[in-house]
Homo-oligomer: A and B are copies of this chain.
Amino acid sequence: MNKKQITLKDIAKALNLSPSTVSRAMNNNPAISVETRDQVQRYAEEHKYKLNTLAFQLRTKRNNTIGVIVPEIVHFFFSSVLAGIQEEAESENYNILICHSNEDYKKEVKSVETLIDARVSGILASQSKNTNQYNHFQEIIDNEIHLVFFDRICTGINTDKVVVDDYAGAFNAVDYLAKTGCKRIAFLTSSSQMPIASNRRMGYEDALRKHKIVVDRSLIFTCDTRDLAFKVIPQILQSTNIPDAFFCINDEVAAYCLQMVKSFGFRVPEDISICGFTNGYITEVTDPELTTVDQHGHEMGNEAAKLLINRIEGKETKNGIVSKLIKTELIRRGSTR
């Protein structure tokens, strides 16, 4: 059909005007007479004129693309965040460029490069588990690109962030476990020094203290993946020191934990309670269904994108760091008493 996209110049030629006039007419510049404006806009519409974004961006140095770095795509929480980001970005007319670091430091660095190369006007990032160098993130800032961390924030970099209230989430969950009679509550967590892990641990410990339960370090395990779950949990269940509850860093570990606890002959929740973290799809299909902490990923995505876009457009006036906290919600189901 329309072989080539038509340009401002084409319109100008057709209407016997100069490209500048056409440009102004399209942008509703008041210097242009109403007749000319209407004529130009009508012609543009009829001939399906489309602004060449590349040229526009090159000229104006504006760029309505934001980059997103996620450690994992096939993942309930992160894909929820992604959906939230996408939703907000779309409503504000931004495009999103997605990079997948796959929990790999090197790919994370490469992702940052890619996004800087693409000259996005802002980046939303959640770091990989094992990232402990921050030069690449610093480079984003050095390139004067706005940066907002979400969920897995990077402590080494001083910038805006949106996080879930991990402390309160963990506190409430463990508080609930204790209230329902659990005394030996194990914590299956991540080895990482990321704030999401340390904050939850603080919530866990404070909740125990509230119930006058002594924090027992031998009940805290590094176990945040499928592989670790299959290795660590059987060991715990075979030990002489069997917990009466598991508070898990994510739903997957909780689900596998549930499976193994049952296969060892314990009843859930009568003998052992289990609580996850995220509230993903899988929590509704286990038997019994999993009690968990809803992380509101979609909302986090919304908020992070909103904050970033406000920064880009200069609408966020606060000079220092903006830190948004997303509330969590304890979802009680059958895996706890």
A255 contacts B by Cβ under 8 Å:
yes
Cα distance A262–B287 in the bound complex, in angstroms: 10
Contacts A281-B252, A285-B259; is A97 near B95 (CB within 8 Å)?
yes
With a cutoff of 8 Å between Cβ atoms, the chain B residues found around residue A142 in the complex are 1-2
Inter-subunit contact B282/A118 (CB<8 Å): no
Inter-subunit contact A76/B74 (CB<8 Å): yes
Q: How many residues of A contact B (CB 8 A)?
A: 52
Chain A positions 64-95 with a Cβ under 8 Å from a chain B Cβ: 65, 73-76, 79-80, 82-83, 86-87, 90, 95
Inter-subunit contact B96/A97 (CB<8 Å): yes
Inter-subunit contact A54/B54 (CB<8 Å): yes
Inter-subunit contact A86/B98 (CB<8 Å): yes
With a cutoff of 8 Å between Cβ atoms, the chain B residues found around residue A87 in the complex are 100
A34 contacts B by Cβ under 8 Å:
no
Cα distance A52–B55 in the bound complex, in angstroms: 12
Contacts A100-B87, A116-B50, A285-B258; is A5 near B58 (CB within 8 Å)?
no
A33 contacts B by Cβ under 8 Å:
no
A316 contacts B by Cβ under 8 Å:
no
Residue of chain B at shortest CB distance from A61: B54
Inter-subunit contact B100/A98 (CB<8 Å): no
Q: Which of B75, B95, B281 contacts A114 (CB 8 A)?
A: B95
With a cutoff of 8 Å between Cβ atoms, the chain B residues found around residue A57 in the complex are 54
Q: Mark A260-286, 1 if CB is under 8 A from B, else 0.
A: 001000000000000000000110111
Inter-subunit contact A83/B79 (CB<8 Å): no
With a cutoff of 8 Å between Cβ atoms, the chain B residues found around residue A258 in the complex are 285
In the assembled complex, how far is the CB of residue A227 from the closest CB belonging to chain B, in whole angstroms?
A: 13
A117 contacts B by Cβ under 8 Å:
yes
A119 contacts B by Cβ under 8 Å:
yes
Cα distance A79–B83 in the bound complex, in angstroms: 11
Residue of chain B at shortest CB distance from A75: B79
Inter-subunit contact A83/B73 (CB<8 Å): yes
Inter-subunit contact A79/B86 (CB<8 Å): no
With a cutoff of 8 Å between Cβ atoms, the chain B residues found around residue A53 in the complex are 117-119
Q: Which of B58, B98, B116 contacts A55 (CB 8 A)?
A: B58
Residue of chain B at shortest CB distance from A80: B74
With a cutoff of 8 Å between Cβ atoms, the chain B residues found around residue A116 in the complex are 50
Q: Mark A281-316, 1 if CB is under 8 A from B, else 0.
A: 110111100000000000000000000000000000
With a cutoff of 8 Å between Cβ atoms, the chain B residues found around residue A285 in the complex are 252, 255-256, 258-259, 282, 285-286
A positions within 8 Å CB-CB of B: 1-3, 5, 50-55, 57-58, 63, 65, 73-76, 79-80, 82-83, 86-87, 90, 95-100, 110, 114, 116-119, 142-144, 252, 255-256, 258-259, 262, 281-282, 284-287
23 contacting pairs across A/B (C-beta < 8 A): A2-B143, A3-B144, A50-B116, A53-B118, A54-B119, A58-B58, A73-B86, A74-B79, A75-B79, A82-B98, A86-B100, A90-B99, A90-B110, A90-B114, A95-B97, A95-B118, A96-B97, A97-B97, A259-B285, A281-B282, A282-B285, A286-B287, A287-B287
